[in-house]
Amino acid sequence: RRPGNEKTRIPNFLYIDEFAAFLGKQTEPIFTMYRKYKVATVITVQNLSQLNTPNSKESFRQTILSNCAHKIFTGDADVSELEWWSKELGTHREWTMKDSIDFAKGNNGEYESKHGEVKFDFVPNFKMGKLQTLKRNVFAFTLKDASGKNIGGAGRFKYLDAKYKEPQ
């Protein structure tokens, strides 16, 4: 137990690379309790199927994914996972309309422009094909802002130069 309350605790960060090797009943509290103790957790997995636990009767995948407010997709996913990522990364409103021009109205070469059949649809921010072909330094993300609203978009990694370069 950490002393203090949510307002007085100092934030801590826990980073776990290759999280699948640590997945089990003992790691479940990371996703269900640690937030109230101001412990931010960052995990990485190669693909979503690594979050399945075939040797256990419990499934932690849904617990983990529903408790992760921010998700980053870096590409090279299995085709079976691309549909999930496309849905998870959100949608945006896309408007369509038909334009027409009435040349009969007006004088001196003036005309009247009209818009008709205005409608919109919600389309994925990232379609499966776009996710499948992300370049090496591009990522897609979804995160929650301070008000709890989901924000999705694309970003670009800027890699740091190695301090010591070794011959390859």
Q: Which amino acid is at 36?
A: K
pLDDT of residue 5: 77
Q: pTM of whole model > 0.75?
A: no
Sign of the Cα torsion 80, 82, 84, 85 reads positive
Distance CA 59, CA 57 (A): 7
Q: Both tokens of residue 66?
A: 């529903």
pLDDT of residue 156: 94
Read off φ and ψ for residue 30, nearest 5 degrees.
-55, -35
Strands across the sheet containing 138-144 = 71-73, 138-144, 150-156
pLDDT of residue 61: 84
Distance CA 133, CA 135 (A): 6
Pick out the chain residues at pLDDT < 70: 1-2, 54-58, 104-109, 164, 167-168
> E strand or H helix at 88, and its extent?
helix 79-88
pLDDT of residue 2: 65
Contact 86, 131 (CB under 8 A): yes
